[in-house]
Amino acid sequence: VTTLTATFFDVGHGDSIVVERDDPPLFSVVDCNLNLSRGETEPKAYRYLKSKGVTELDTVVLTHLHKDHYTGLEFFLRDFDIRVLRVPPFLSRNDKTHDKILKRLSAKIQEEIERSTDEFVFRPAYSLAYILAYVTANEDRVEEAAGKHNITRLCGFDAFISLPLPRIKGELHSKVQSHGSTSNTFPEMNAASVVLTVEHGGHRVTLAGDSTLEQWSEHKRQMERDRVTSVNATVLKVPHHGSRHNNDESLYEYVFKKTGRRLSIVSANGATHPHDEYFELVNKFGLEPYCTSLAEQCRAQNLIRLTGQTQLPDTTRPFLDNYRAEGPSVACQGDITVEVDEAGLRSVRGSTNNACIYRLPFAPSDT
Ligand SMILES: [Zn+2]
Ligand SMILES: [Zn+2]
């Protein structure tokens, strides 16, 4: 039996995913967020891999250049032997605009480092500088990731890249050229977000980064020409931390498989994201939601509903304690681990053992 395990680490607002295969043992990393507001000095995913004695990584994926996806990624680049680093299209050195982009980014990083000793500014800038230096020095192992259905492997499993669509490269280049956009003033960066799906045991796990609705709807149009009408995902790390701007009905209609268990995973801090609309989609599509952090909507609306129940399962206790907790980010499911083997979905579990109101028998249907 070969098992595919995907772990979505609770890193507040940000993505940090480890994909692994047990036999032969292979490990990949998708994005990283060093949670500075929780006082972390090493990424959780890094500690996890180190504790397992891992020295080699099959693939490292950087979905896009936002700091909640790259802060701390240099830990992996520095300490592991990496077979391939997959980056968004405009990052690799295969055309002349690359040098210009690199120069702009470097200038911006320099400026940030000089302007502030604040860790929250300095630390991500350092990570970005390290990544850019690594990309420059390791051309042979850096590969651009682009869709629309680009077959690849991840930890030896079948995988494919859906987004970004190849033409985003030209669009981003011309924007960088004309506006002088830099890493932090570049909202289009999400449009270049890499989306990767890994397959095993009849399941498709789609890691959607911060991908945009615009990219997805163009993807859908292009795939329909090839008579493909769905991504058929059974597990979706939803785009952009459950933002209303990047999650809607037509996207879920297109991405999710029509029948069977469907899991939606949110990697957010629970305070600013996910948005209300995400929970409407969960209800509408009958998804099994898993959130790393406890969402504001659950604290606000469901505390009263839950405490009104007399027959609460014991597992809801820590969850109720969480409702009362102060602070911007409290673990809900914590680190979420999905295991798939040849026979299908074997287990889904959170590190906290908290119950989820949306997965309880008396789950609300009107929120
Ligand atoms: Zn993000
Ligand atoms: Zn982003």
Q: For residues 143 and 151, what is the distance between their CA atoms, to the nearest angstrom?
A: 13
% of residues, the chain, pLDDT over 70: 81
Q: Name which of 49-58, 70-79, 130-139, 209-218 the model is least confident about.
A: 130-139
Per DSSP bridges, beta strands 288-291 and 263-266 are: parallel
Q: 193 C-alpha vs ligand 2 centroid, how far in Å?
A: 8
In this prediction, residue 272 carries a pLDDT of 87
Among the residue ranges 32-36, 103-107, 300-304, the one predicted with the least confidence is 300-304
Q: Is the pLDDT of residue 93 over 70?
A: no
Q: CA 172 to CA 92: how far, in whole Å?
A: 13
How many whole angstroms from 220 Cα to the centroid of ligand 2? 21
In this predicted structure, which of 140-149, 203-212, 315-324, 339-348 has the lowest mean pLDDT?
A: 315-324
The rounded Å distance from CA 23 to ligand 2 centre is 33
Categorize the per-residue pLDDT at 196 as very low, low, confident or very high, splitting at 50, 70 and 90: very high
For residue 59, pLDDT over 80 is answered with: yes
- pLDDT for the residue 61: 98
Contact of 30 with 19, CB cutoff 8 Å: yes
Q: Kindly report, residue by residue over 299-345, the tens digit of the pLDDT.
A: 755 554 444 444 455 554 444 444 444 456 788 999 999 999 999 99
Ligand nearest to the CA of 12: 1
Check residue 341 and give its pLDDT.
Answer: 97
Q: Report the mean per-residue pLDDT for the chain.
A: 85
Return d(Cα 165, Cα 149) in angstroms, integer.
9
- For helices 316-324 and 296-307, the axis angle rounded to 10 degrees is 120
Ligand positioned closest to the Cα atom of 14: 1
What pLDDT digit, counting tens, does each position of 227-258 carry? Answer: 999 999 999 999 999 999 999 999 999 999 99
Q: Distance (Å, rounded) from C-alpha 26 to C-alpha 301?
A: 42
Q: How far is the CA of 69 from the centre of ligand 1 (A)?
A: 6
- Report the separation in Å between the CA atom of 339 and the middle of ligand 2, taken as the mean of its atom positions: 27
Mean pLDDT of 277-297: 94
Can you tell me the mean pLDDT for 145-169? 94
- Rounded-to-integer distance, Cα 315 and Cα 323, Å: 14
The ligand with the least distance to the CA atom of 69 is 1
- Banded pLDDT at 175 (limits 50, 70, 90): low
**Least distant ligand from the CA of 266:** 1
pTM: 0.89
Pair of tokens at residue 216:
């997805």
Q: What are phi and psi of 69, to 5 degrees?
A: -120, -15
Structure confidence by residue, pLDDT tens digits, 106-133: 777 777 767 767 777 778 878 887 888 8
pLDDT confidence of residue 354: 82
Distance 362 CA to ligand 1 centre (A): 32
Q: Lowest-confidence range among 35-44, 48-57, 72-81, 210-219?
A: 35-44
Q: Bridge partners of 235?
A: 205, 263
Query: What per-residue confidence (pLDDT) applies to 185?
Result: 43
**C-alpha of residue 265 to centroid of ligand 2, in Å:** 16
